[in-house]
Structure 1
Amino acid sequence: MKKLMMMLTIVVLALAGCGNSDNSDTGSTEETKTLKVASLIKPMTEILDLVKPQLKEDGINLEVVVLSDNVQPNSALAAKEVDANFFQHVPYMEEFNRNNDANLVPIEPIYFANYGVYSKEYKSIDQLPKGAVIAMANDVSNIDRSLSLLAQHDAIKLKKKTGSYYTMKDVVENKQDYKFKEVDLLMLARLYDDADAVVMTPAYAAPLGLTPKQDALVTEGIENDFAITLVARKDNQDAEAIQKLAKAMTSPEVKKFLEENYDETAIPAFN
């Protein structure tokens, strides 16, 4: 009987030991925070992939959710399907907030996507003929941005801005009678063959083999409010995981990556 009791005791202790081991493992798993970030294309997705190891050391599992259009990332963030997104500039985010009664907030500007005007046929903006068709993205923030770029280089003149965005009604001088074709952002590259010129970011010019430095008729530079920005919600903007992500995305490693791989097409917006 004593032997039987001893054997039962050993079994119970062994099982208890296994249980403690499982609890320890579970605790370790629970300490890892999964952070979902919606994005679209390179170099946005590359930057997120680059910071994954650093975040993992901080107990954060960064999950990059790659979506197929420029509406889904904000819709998913507002619906709390993701924790943050990284694909847009602040004016675009503000437009979404107004139209959807949302509370998205900018966390950190990461890089300037050097906006430019591209043409398959013409080598300078002065060569564009009278009545030339210029394609641009059809959302109000990018119409504002496109018109501002054209005005910056004296292709058109705009009246003093009184609202949040420039619109076509603000064009007060268009000596060359340019025709503006507004299309979905993701359709811009397709217009390169058909329109006389297209106003677009490096991300959409790159698949065509175009860069601002070598191919754009004119470019925007960095004196603007259109940096591609990490965005979260008002309710989670101060979360530790979000702040650690912002810190990682503005690290010297990310700056070096952009400078070495994207030159002036993605200019760091941080020091």
Structure 2
Amino acid sequence: MRKSVALAAAGLALASGLTACGSGSDSGEGGGKDGTLVVGATPVPAGEVLAYIKDNLAQKAGLKLEIKEFTDYVLPNTALQEGSLDANLYQNRPFLDEFNKSKGTDLVSVVDAYLPPMGVYSKKIKDIAKLGDGATVAVPNETTNEGRALKLLAAKGLITLKKGAGTDASPADVTANPKHLKFKELDPAQLPRSLDDVDAAVINNNYAQDAGLSPTKDAILLESAEGNPYANLLAVKRGNEDDPRVEKLAKLLVSPDVKKFIAQKYKGSVLPAASG
């Protein structure tokens, strides 16, 4: 069953869903008395990019950075709204807009950091053109991620979405389905594990990499960067955009050093932001 981000928080507040790393305040409160900037992130690639900044660039920039890693897409925003984080890095603008709308939060974008392209993966076929009639395709069951997945399939001509279908598109918006594809809606984190049971799955970049999948080597269909609205961004609670610590991190995220790190480490699996 499809779920919006408003419903996704149920049952996710498990101790195993949150791992703190790095140094900083032990209180769990954003910032702490020592001025540390506490940033929430999914492990890959956000956590790795932030770790690179912390280990190589932050001290010179006069920034104390603590990274808290999350394994879902809801808790980083609720923690940011509640103040236990100062910022987070993991989501794109359509997801942020939907989250604010459905949860009544007041979070804003500071800067685009990088683009992690979504891809289609399969253990049964090596070419998207070989997807058979009646094939089962697993897609994320979160509003904006499902819409993004369907738009990727539509861009390849596998389905047609009704005119005006936006980032919240669902299977109900499919107007043409020449291969009679069947859609299986699953939690995004479960999609890599579904590959044994479905013909293909549309998987978010971080979950693909967490599962040992290489977007550039293993995906049978990958998003294009051109005109892509799904760059991951640094977000804060409204009113904190001008926090000097946030401004320092934003500048580092789009610096030549970070762009070089992303290009060398991910080799096209994650793309540096166009801005900055």
Same fold (TM over 0.5): yes
Q: Does 1:257 align with 2:257?
A: no
- 1:32/1:59 contact within 8 Å kept: no
1:270 match = 274
Q: Does 1:157 align with 2:179?
A: no
Structure 2: give runs of 5+ residues left out of the alignment: 1-31
2:123 match = 120
Higher mean alpha-carbon deviation, 247-256 vs 196-205, is at: 196-205
**Greater C-alpha Rg:** 1
Q: Which amino acid aligns with 1:111?
A: Y
Higher mean alpha-carbon deviation, 151-160 vs 44-53, is at: 44-53
Partners of 1:37 and 1:209 in 2: CA distance? 25
- Counterparts in 2 of 1:1-20, with a 5 A limit? none
- 1:32/1:60 contact within 8 Å kept: no
Q: Which amino acid aligns with 2:36?
A: T
2:191 match = 188
Partners of 1:128 and 1:151 in 2: CA distance? 14
1:78 match = 81
1:93 match = 96
Partners of 1:96 and 1:39 in 2: CA distance? 16
Instruction: Give the number of aligned pairs.
Output: 242
SS in 2 for 1:57: helix
Partners of 1:136 and 1:96 in 2: CA distance? 19
Misfit runs of 4+, over 3 Å = none
Higher mean alpha-carbon deviation, 259-268 vs 64-73, is at: 64-73
* Equivalent residue for 1:219, pick from 219, 222, 227: 222
Offset at residue 127 of structure 1 (A)? 1.2
Higher helix share: 1
Partners of 2:170 and 2:151 in 1: CA distance? 10
- 2:44/2:209 contact within 8 Å kept: no
Identity over aligned pairs, percent: 38
- 2:165/2:173 contact within 8 Å kept: no
- 1:44/1:87 contact within 8 Å kept: yes
Q: Deviations over 1:229-261 (max 9, x none)?
A: 111111211211111110011111111111111
> Superposition RMSD on alpha carbons, in Å?
1.8
2:17 match = none
Offset at residue 57 of structure 1 (A)? 3.2
Distance 1:101 1:31, change over 3 A: closer
- 2:42/2:206 contact within 8 Å kept: no
Q: Which amino acid aligns with 2:45?
A: P
- 2:209/2:215 contact within 8 Å kept: no
Offset at residue 162 of structure 1 (A)? 5.2
Partners of 2:166 and 2:208 in 1: CA distance? 30
Q: Deviations over 1:29-72 (max 9, x none)?
A: x9952111011112211111121253333432111011232211
Q: Does 1:39 align with 2:41?
A: yes
